[in-house]
Amino acid sequence: QAGLTQPPSVSKGLRQTATLTCTGNSNNVGGLGGAWLQQHQGHPPKLLSYRNNNRPSGISERFSASRSGNTVSLTISGLQPEDEADYYCSAWDSSLNAWVFGGGTKLTVL
Amino acid sequence: QVQLVESGGGVAQPGRSLRLSCAASGIRFRNYIMHWVRQAPGKGLEWVSCTSHDGSGKFYADSVKGRFTISIDDSKNMLYLQLNSLRPDDTAMYHCVGEGGGAFDLWGQGTVVLVSS
C-alpha cells in the first residue's frame, strides 16, 4: 500500500523552529487530514495531533499542525532537547480503506 | 488507569501461526476503534488492522489480508490478532492501539513476533 512521504531527517538548533512535512494525496491527508505521532527510541509512539490541528490533552502548544492541499505539516517551536525523536504522519486512505503512515522523520536538535 | 497490555508474541517458524492478545483496562471498547500497528526492527510504523467495538467493521493492510484475522471481545475488553502463514517479514513489535476521538490515542508497549526457521 502506498504510504505518505516524509523527509528522512531534519536538523535544527536549540530554541529554533522546525517544520516537518508529509505529502499524500486527496484520498488521505487531502481528505480528512492527518495525524502526527512522536516516538522516542525504545518507547511506543505518542499522538501529538489529529485531523490537522487538534491536540490531545497534555500536548504542548509548541506542537502545531496544519494542512495545505495534500501536504500536512507539523511545526515545533522553541526546540528542546527532548524533542529529538522520530516523527510519523498518518492518515486514513479512503481509496485503500486502510490507514497509511509516512516513513518517519528523524528530528535532531543541535 | 488506562492501559493496553499485549501478550502472545514469540518465535515462530515460517508458515506457522501465533495469536496475539491485548487486554484493555480503564477504557470502554464501545468508545474506541481498536487497531494493531507493527514496527519491524529499525523500521517505521506499519498499520496492520482495525476493528469496531462490536466487530462489525474490520479492515486489513494488503500485506496481511487473508493471513491475519482481528477479533474483539467487548465483554472481556480483549482484542486479538490471529497470525497465520507467518513470513519472515512479519517479524516486528506488534502494538495494540486505541483510536478514541483522535487518531491513535492509546498505545500498548507491544509484543515481539520473530519469524525464523
pLDDT at A105 > cutoff 80: yes
pLDDT at A1 > cutoff 80: no
Instruction: Enter the DSSP assignment of A50.
Output: B
Q: Which residues of A touch B47 (CB under 8 A)?
A: 90, 98-101
pLDDT value of position B101? 78
A96: phi then psi, degrees, rounded to nearest 5: -95, -15
Residues 13-42 of B with CB under 8 A from A: 35
Residues of chain B with pLDDT under 50: none
pLDDT at A87 > cutoff 90: yes
Tell me the C-alpha distance between A106 and A47, whole Å. 16
pLDDT at A2 > cutoff 80: no
A57 touches chain B (CB under 8 A): no
pLDDT in tens, A24-83: 999 999 998 899 999 999 999 999 999 878 999 999 999 999 999 999 999 999 999 999
